[in-house]
């Protein structure tokens, strides 16, 4: 349109902006078990709030250390490179200012933890958002970071949301002679709402008493409820459940978590899915699952193990 049209008072056709199509939802209530090949932060951000009853996170030890060091070693709240940096407001944690102060204190002491936490915190925040108000989060950690992570999680979730510290003890492999051999992992358990969370101990597989002679024969036959110390063997080289994936966890420990913290038909999320142990245990118990992994080798193992095809983002 030129000056003539303007002079004549003609109205210029307005350019309506093309709406940006919102990405197709990854998940819907009727979805089958999902396997997503992607960075878990990207994938979780594409899912609606409060759809999961349980989340199990088994992140690799000190992920992202090399690429994160530069950005996080002196700051309280930097996001990993390439990820949208949370503003100080969104980075407060559910515990508010105390979270920032706690993480500041922890990270000034050990910048390896700063790197690790900068990777993990936004993913924990997403997992928290995805949990419904009866939901439970299990965070599986190495003994080297468990103590820091517990303090940081208390501040992130709120101290009253802490439920348990589970020790998974196994006895396998070489043993140090210069200190007590370290043969356990720590699993921190936090609930979304301490007044509403689901915990059904009646559904949990019972285990033999250590001293069956001290209880009645009926009790001995029934077995006892597991405590917060879980003796369970690792996936052995000749085990039937072995997939060949190096960090595969045993189905038996996931079974316990799923039995206690979900009901049949509930959704279980594993954003660091690896060999798909969570999904395999969930399926065997009649629960539904979302597995996410960024590694092509892991995704190939899960596709075979669960006979499902991955969605690639």
Ligand X SMILES: C[S@@+](CC[C@H](N)C(=O)[O-])C[C@H]1O[C@@H](n2cnc3c(N)ncnc32)[C@H](O)[C@@H]1O
By CB under 6 A, name the binding residues for ligand X. 39-40, 58, 60, 63, 245, 247-249, 272, 274-275, 277, 292-295, 298
- Closer residue to ligand X in complex, CB, 106/279: 279
Residues 6+ apart with CB under 8 A from 111: 69, 72, 73
In the complex, minimum distance from the CB of residue 124 to ligand X, in angstroms, rounded to a whole number? 12
The two three-digit tokens of residue 295, written as one number: 């590694």
Angle between helices 277-284 and 296-306 (to 10 degrees): 20
- Closer residue to ligand X in complex, CB, 158/301: 301
- Closer residue to ligand X in complex, CB, 67/98: 67
- Closer residue to ligand X in complex, CB, 37/192: 37
Angle between helices 251-261 and 277-284 (to 10 degrees): 50
In the complex, minimum distance from the CB of residue 251 to ligand X, in angstroms, rounded to a whole number? 9
Q: Do the Cβ atoms of 80 and 163 come closer than 8 Å?
A: no
In the complex, minimum distance from the CB of residue 123 to ligand X, in angstroms, rounded to a whole number? 7
DSSP 75-94: -SSPPPTTSPPPPTTTTS-T
Q: How many CA atoms, within 13 angstroms, populate the side-chain half-sphere of residue 63?
A: 15
Q: Do the Cβ atoms of 44 and 130 come closer than 8 Å?
A: yes
- Closer residue to ligand X in complex, CB, 113/134: 113
In the complex, minimum distance from the CB of residue 6 to ligand X, in angstroms, rounded to a whole number? 54
DSSP 105-139: HHHHH-HHHHHHHHHHHHHHHHHHHHEEEEEEEEE
Q: How many CA atoms, within 13 angstroms, populate the side-chain half-sphere of residue 154?
A: 13
- Closer residue to ligand X in complex, CB, 95/253: 253
In the complex, minimum distance from the CB of residue 285 to ligand X, in angstroms, rounded to a whole number? 16
Residue whose beta carbon is closest to ligand X: 274
- Closer residue to ligand X in complex, CB, 64/226: 64
- Closer residue to ligand X in complex, CB, 48/60: 60
Q: Is 243 helix (H, G, I), strand (E, B) or coil?
A: coil
Q: Where are the beta strands (DSSP E) in the chain?
A: 34-37, 52-57, 131-141, 162-169, 184-191, 229-231, 267-270, 288-293, 311-312
In the complex, minimum distance from the CB of residue 104 to ligand X, in angstroms, rounded to a whole number? 24
In the complex, minimum distance from the CB of residue 184 to ligand X, in angstroms, rounded to a whole number? 16
Cα 210 to chain centroid distance, Å, stands at: 32
In the complex, minimum distance from the CB of residue 20 to ligand X, in angstroms, rounded to a whole number? 25
């Amino acid at each position: 349109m030129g000056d003539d049209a303007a002079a004549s008072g003609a109205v210029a056709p307005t350019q309506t902006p093309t709406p940006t199509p919102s990405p197709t939802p990854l998940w819907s209530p009727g979805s089958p078990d999902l396997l997503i090949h992607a960075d878990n932060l990207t994938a979780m951000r594409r899912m609606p709030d409060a759809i999961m009853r349980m989340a199990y996170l088994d992140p690799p030890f000190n992920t992202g250390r090399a690429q994160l060091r530069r950005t996080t070693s002196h700051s309280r709240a930097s996001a990993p490179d390439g990820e949208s940096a949370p503003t100080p407001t969104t980075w407060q944690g559910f515990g508010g200012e105390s979270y920032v102060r706690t993480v500041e204190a922890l990270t000034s002491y050990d910048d390896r933890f700063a790197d690790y936490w900068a990777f993990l915190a936004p993913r924990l925040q997403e997992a928290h958002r995805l949990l419904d108000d009866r939901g439970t989060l299990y965070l599986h950690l190495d003994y080297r970071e468990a103590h820091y992570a517990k303090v940081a999680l208390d501040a992130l979730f709120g101290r009253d949301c802490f439920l348990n510290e589970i020790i998974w003890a196994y006895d396998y492999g070489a043993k140090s002679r210069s200190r007590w051999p370290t043969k356990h992992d720590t699993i921190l358990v936090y609930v979304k709402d301490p007044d509403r969370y689901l915990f059904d101990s009646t559904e949990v597989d019972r285990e033999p008493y250590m001293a069956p002679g001290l209880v009645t024969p009926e009790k001995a036959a029934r077995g006892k409820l597991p405590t917060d110390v879980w003796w369970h063997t690792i996936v052995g080289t000749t085990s039937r459940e072995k997939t060949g994936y190096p960090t595969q966890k045993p189905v038996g420990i996931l079974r316990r978590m799923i039995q206690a913290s979900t009901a049949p038909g509930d959704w279980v999320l594993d954003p660091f899915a690896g060999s798909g142990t969570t999904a395999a245990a969930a399926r065997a118990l009649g629960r539904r699952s979302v597995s996410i992994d960024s590694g092509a080798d892991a995704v190939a193992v899960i596709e075979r193990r669960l006979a499902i095809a991955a969605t690639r983002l």
